[in-house]
Chain A
């Protein structure tokens, strides 16, 4: 009865690109200043990976455009010569989204870092894609405003990268993700045409392409300008730290806070191994005897904060918190957060390498997930520290390994894959905010049916007919999905079994 899905099936196979490198260099030289084009191996080397350092690849060339017109010229040439294009912001991405393509041009946007305007009246800022996340808040601070999404990498990561990944932060439970805080994205299509997604108003006519651009991992357009919303700084913020003698209680406390009708400004959790890594590094004042701690933030007017802190404390006590502390001033609040924000580098000190996972699950399964991870840690003989955006159910297990020990990377990868498969089985997703990139590309088949993957390919083709923007990322080829399913002992999927999948 169903119509066969043959339309795109075979055109999505891993396509070899045949790019004439010298012709490409010659053509790019005509449109770029000498310093904006790198092609010697030693110059390419620093660009061979992003935050997913386990995967390295030299690009064919690197370009460092200085304005939109140069980006446009690069794209036109790449489109004409059918050369892949990979955008790169600050390369803090953790899924390999900015990993170069061997036959492609890496477009590094670091030089497009102008804050074009900050308008305190309309509460918006217009920025180039290479502007760092924190720089926006700093520019808005004199007006009592800030840019709400605050990834822990905010000192380094760029707005372009944030939009491409739909990044979150510790405050997105209340203030939303990047997609909720961006009004307009100006970009270039692979043909080099300027396209505006969204506008200066709250909505735009037609399909919500602005929403689609968020989280599209550089596969749909190259972002050259972003209008972000600025949020008034709350008068006061205070954070409560609650320590727990067991993780199950901590997990249940998270659900109880939400059940009480409270939406904290931030609700984070760390397990014992994370606490032990962070405390000596950041001196945040965490309870070193706790099995888990929760950080719950409240912000608003002083009256509102006092009321909410009171309610949160009551819930935490009832949930069996062993100790509760409330930040008494701004310095102490920042100190409490500093530990959480330094969790990745702190764990990084304990191990030569680590993999950061990013599944999201319904909050009610937090404790089950932690227990499962502990068991897997035994199975693979690898340590794992857990940091969670608990309020959103977004997990960041940090799997520690040593790439120089034969087999450890493979074990770490398999460990991570099992966590993500579990995330899907608990009714969640393989990635909450870091993106699919190359890291999780095979796991897409765990979460989506062939028909759904096919729909993604058709959507991609609506923007980029020849598949030149960031090929090999985000969405696996149908052939790869079949391989994955077969390797896992599954049969051919069809769209009908999605009706009974664990997601629904």
Chain B
């Protein structure tokens, strides 16, 4: 058996036997996300390397500690990529952290999220068992879809060992356009365009400017560019702009004020609460101000939810990071946690305070 896994299994068994807790850490790039880290650190970043990559199968498998930058570079050599544009937030970001956080970048509106691209995982659960779910093929309905369940589970169900992901060819052409319009008009336009077969791969509205990115075949991008008639952005500037949204290095994200993420139906009207940055065709809205209760009730009323994406520990402890769950769902969550990690060893409190 792999010495790393042997070592972790022993630590899991020790912790399970002594009411201990483990804080799983890949590259530490997303430690800020979710509830405060508690317990003894379990560093898993050393378990790394691409295990299998076959471009014609559109699948890559990598150990969970593999740096995201390394994976991206390997795929780029073959003209492929992770189409959901996962954020790194630091050069140390790992594949396991990407899956555990479940975060996706600007292209999510067009192609889907991490959970839509994960095909299989290998997991070390709270019983110290190594389990494989899913696999390397595109379609697989044998057994419950645990691989997708693990996307966004914040390490609360086990240590990710290996991840298989669907990859796609890089878009041939890309163009970004800008429009000077207000928030309500931008939302209206985005929803209107969303109902038409246009190759829109990302969108962002902030401070009176709507930016759209078109991606795909040369002819399709050119046709849409003519039709939409926005102001064409310089390619390098556009690339930097979308990266700044993905990595949250854009000025909107600067400073210590709490960062709220509202996940809403794209058609939800402007929510108020001050400065807003809208992505995903209207479905993801970032805010820097607002009372937690008011934000959560507005989000719920609109059919979505609000996350305290960045904030200090005191605020997180006071209001919770994630929107509270209705009782029956909360019960299922506790039951699932128990199914994978009966002694409550992994990442306590990262998702909800009660597990």
| Contact B79 A455, beta carbon cutoff 8 Å | no
The answer for the CA separation of A122 and B304 in the assembled complex, in Å, is 14
| Contact B142 A1, beta carbon cutoff 8 Å | no
| Contact A361 B219, beta carbon cutoff 8 Å | no
Q: Which positions 456-504 of chain A face chain B at CB distance < 8 Å?
A: 456, 458-463, 474-475, 495-496, 498-499, 501, 503-504
| Contact A363 B142, beta carbon cutoff 8 Å | no
A23 within 8 A of B: no
Q: Which of B9-17, B38-46, B89-97, B244-252 has 4 or more CB atoms under 8 Å from chain A?
A: B9-17
Q: Which of B25-33, B125-133, B176-184, B203-211 has 4 or more CB atoms under 8 Å from chain A?
A: B125-133
| Contact B336 A462, beta carbon cutoff 8 Å | yes
Q: Note all chain A residues with C-beta closer than 8 A to B131.
A: 449, 451-452, 455, 495, 498
Q: Note all chain B residues with C-beta closer than 8 A to A207.
A: 149, 152-153, 333, 336, 351
**Given A172-B139, A263-B168, A504-B307 contact (CB < 8 Å):** no
Which residue of B is nearest A434, CB measured?
B141
Q: How many residues of B contact A (CB 8 A)?
A: 100
Q: Pick the contact of A364 from B56, B79, B325 — CB < 8 Å?
A: B56
| Contact A123 B152, beta carbon cutoff 8 Å | no
**Given A193-B328, A206-B352, A301-B219, A429-B132 contact (CB < 8 Å):** no
Q: Note all chain A residues with C-beta closer than 8 A to B66.
A: none
Q: Which of A176-184, A238-246, A340-348 has 4 or more CB atoms under 8 Å from chain B?
A: A176-184
| Contact A123 B143, beta carbon cutoff 8 Å | no
Q: Which of B67-75, B235-243, B258-266, B287-295 has 4 or more CB atoms under 8 Å from chain A?
A: B258-266
Q: Kindly provide the distance from the CB of B67 to the nearest chain A CB, expressed in whole angstroms.
A: 21
Q: Pick the contact of B195 from A216, A232, A364 — CB < 8 Å?
A: A232
Which residue of B is nearest A306, CB measured?
B219
| Contact A433 B141, beta carbon cutoff 8 Å | yes
**Given A208-B149, A458-B339, A301-B223 contact (CB < 8 Å):** yes
Q: Kindly provide the distance from the CB of B213 to the nearest chain A CB, expressed in whole angstroms.
A: 17
| Contact A429 B137, beta carbon cutoff 8 Å | yes
Q: Pick the contact of B132 from A5, A389, A444, A498 — CB < 8 Å?
A: A498
Task: For the A-B complex with A2-B9, A301-B223 known, give 11 more contacts whose Cβ atoms are closer than 8 Å.
Answer: A120-B195, A177-B139, A201-B303, A207-B351, A208-B149, A211-B148, A261-B169, A300-B199, A303-B219, A462-B339, A495-B130
The answer for the CA separation of A182 and B143 in the assembled complex, in Å, is 19
| Contact B332 A455, beta carbon cutoff 8 Å | no
Residues in B lying within 8 Å of A, measured CB to CB: 1-2, 6, 9-10, 13, 16, 51, 54-59, 61, 79, 102, 108-109, 112-113, 115-116, 120, 122, 125, 127-133, 135-146, 148-149, 151-153, 162, 168-170, 172, 191-192, 194-199, 216-220, 222-224, 263-267, 280, 283-284, 302-305, 307, 322-323, 325-326, 328-329, 332-333, 335-336, 338-340, 342, 351-352
Which residue of B is nearest A453, CB measured?
B143
Q: Note all chain B residues with C-beta closer than 8 A to A234.
A: 197
Q: Note all chain A residues with C-beta closer than 8 A to B198.
A: 232
Which residue of A is nearest B157, CB measured?
A207
Which residue of A is nearest B220, CB measured?
A304
Which residue of A is nearest B123, CB measured?
A455
5 residue pairs, one from A and one from B, having the closest CB atoms: A303-B219, A200-B303, A462-B335, A211-B148, A201-B304
Q: Kindly provide the distance from the CB of A453 to the nearest chain B CB, expressed in whole angstroms.
A: 8
Q: Pick the contact of A392 from B137, B329, B338 — CB < 8 Å?
A: B137
Q: Note all chain A residues with C-beta closer than 8 A to B332.
A: 189, 195, 209, 462-463
Which residue of B is nearest A231, CB measured?
B197
**Given A209-B332, A303-B223, A393-B340 contact (CB < 8 Å):** no
Q: Pick the contact of A202 from B108, B192, B216, B220 — CB < 8 Å?
A: B108
Q: Pick the contact of B304 from A199, A429, A474, A496 — CB < 8 Å?
A: A199
Chain A positions 358 through 390: 1 when the CB is less than 8 Å from some CB of chain B, otherwise 0: 001111100000000000000000000000010
